[in-house]
Structure 1
Amino acid sequence: MDDSTLQNRRRFLEGVSVGGGILLAGCSGQFGGDAQENVQGDAGQSGSNGVAAVASVDQQAMRKEQAAIRQKVQSGEMNQTEAQQEMASLQTKYVSDAVDSLTGTLEETDGVTVGKTYDSFGVVTVEGEAGAILGLLESDDVRAFVSISDVEEQVAKRNQQANSTSSGQ
């Protein structure tokens, strides 16, 4: 095997394990969003079969802006509540930008169809030819692939938690 094939295989396996672990742990929910998941796309698309692409968020740029917010808190320019709101807004912006970029890449890829978009998870479902989908691993817009059933499970858990929280008040 040549180096690019090995690199793509490693990236895929790393993405599945890391991305799937993040998604299963619910850590990608840190990006905020409404309690009820905002889902866009064709409601008739596949259920639990298939793959979802996790958008690649510009972590370095986001951390730089988060550091600036922390500096404002330390200097007294901003209180904790304002900082938390600003951080949530910042994360939402970066994830939204990443999903938009990923969606654009998917739409430009022959043999691939864009499915549902799970905004707060930074995930877009993908259908199409296996080779075309795997070719997306070369894109900087794709961080990982995870199972659609994993995404749907996390959406259901989040909605259940939101419903139990709102009914418990």
Structure 2
Amino acid sequence: MTDDFSTGRRKLLQSAGAGGTALLAGCSERLGLAQNDSDGDGQREVGVVVAADQQALLEAQSEAQQGVQSGNLTQQEATEQYRQRQRELLEQAIESLTESLSSSVTVEQRYSQLGAVVISGPADALLDTLELESTQSLVLASRIEAAASSSTSANSS
């Protein structure tokens, strides 16, 4: 059950691998989190890809497949049912993330279709989001914006 929704999120997650590696290597300036701040306010912006409940996703996929096998759903109906559940789970993960963020962190933009948000705040508070259960990875905010843009243009074609 692949679709444009999953493809956009998969591409974003693939790009997240490089961001996580840069963080581990101490290259936080590549994510815009370095401490040398030219404007002096200490605020940074970064993208967060949320971690959806994998067990619930597997259950939704299984239910959709069973619906097709039993003849209760067409393949198209099953795919739409799964997509809807996937969107719900990503939205729940975004809600969980935003509720858990430090008070010094602000959500600038939500990208529910990708399961991602752009947040801003002090660099140390942004890095602390990696410790939250609902965080899958940190990425450049521009990567999320680009993924959202390409996802939107793919859906309008």
Q: Select which of 116, 131, 139 maps to 1:123.
A: 116
**Matches of 1:71 and 1:92 in 2, distance apart?**
20
Unmatched tracts of structure 1, length 5 or more: 1-17, 25-48
Identity of aligned residues (%): 30
What residue in structure 1 maps to residue 28 of structure 2? none
Structure-to-structure mapping, 1:43-62, within 5 angstroms: 50-62=45-57
> By how many angstroms is 1:100 displaced?
1.2
What TM-score, normalized to structure 1? Answer: 0.64
What TM-score, normalized to structure 2? Answer: 0.68
Q: Which has the higher helix share?
A: 1
What residue in structure 2 maps to residue 19 of structure 1? 13
Count of residues paired in the alignment: 121
What residue in structure 1 maps to residue 99 of structure 2? 104
> By how many angstroms is 1:52 displaced?
0.9
**Matches of 2:142 and 2:17 in 1, distance apart?**
11
> By how many angstroms is 1:23 displaced?
9.3
| Structure 1 pair 82–53 and aligned structure 2 pair: CA distance change class (3 A) | same
> Is 2:70 the partner of 1:75?
yes
Q: Deviations over 1:135-157 (max 9, x none)?
A: 11111011100111111112222
Range 140-149 or range 73-82, more displaced: 73-82
**Matches of 1:151 and 1:87 in 2, distance apart?**
23
Q: Provide the aligned C-alpha RMSD in A.
A: 2.2
What residue in structure 1 maps to residue 130 of structure 2? 137
